[in-house]
Amino acid sequence: MERAAVFDVDGTLVDTNHLHVTTWWEAFRQAGHQVPMHAVHRAVGLPSGDLVARLLGEDRDTDQDAELSAAHKALYAQYFDRLPALPGAGELLRRLAGDGWTVVLATSAGGPELGALRRAIDADDAIAATASADDVDAGKPAPEPVEHALELAGATAERSVFVGDTVWDMRAGDRAGVRCVGVLCGGLPRADLEKAGAEAVYADPADLLASLERSPLA
């Protein structure tokens, strides 16, 4: 039976969370909404429709949702050629693949955005598959993205670990029945990740790699 190491991408393997905060903030500003950046940061990691609903409320003009999402995508796309991998990201994935783990990405990104993220990580040789939000009916914190990743890996939840940087990641992994590992490089506090289900928390991929033999990915 395979064992899967499932990874979120934004804020976990690639240093993009604050780019998402800035570009979402600008998309809201252009549409006439004043949304505090700290509130946007807390919502990063949700599917775009859920993020807009969380920040503008259920009584918003939903006809604007698609325009806001398109504006964010266009603004964020300006950074595609220079997205920075987080320290140790590629090395961690290669080490796990070499240790016999099936490495799968679970991300809401797709198309050119996913291509830019994979170029930043520069570890395609270690990545067995990618589970995109486009492949499931509900994104994180629903368990479907993680469950789909396990299907792609041919692994059971009991033999799998999910690594992410947001409370949405931890809740999705917990609901899918996998062990959850948090990283702080997305900008959220350790306590928030632990409360949401993280069994262990590390600073970034490099810290997890250095601590691998004492981690849930041992």
* pLDDT for residue 78: 98
Distances in whole angstroms, Cα of residue 89 to Cα of each of 53, 70, 123: 32, 29, 8
* pLDDT for residue 135: 82
* pLDDT for residue 13: 98
| Burial class (CB within 10 angstroms; exposed 0-12, middle 13-18, buried 19+) of 73 | middle
Q: Tell me how far apart the alpha carbons of residues 88 and 183 are, in angstroms, rounded to a whole number.
A: 12
Q: What is the pLDDT of residues 72-100, one digit of tens each?
A: 999 999 999 999 999 999 999 999 999 99
Q: Which of 174, 12, 41, 189 is nearest to 104 (CA)?
A: 12
Residues of the chain scoring pLDDT < 50: none
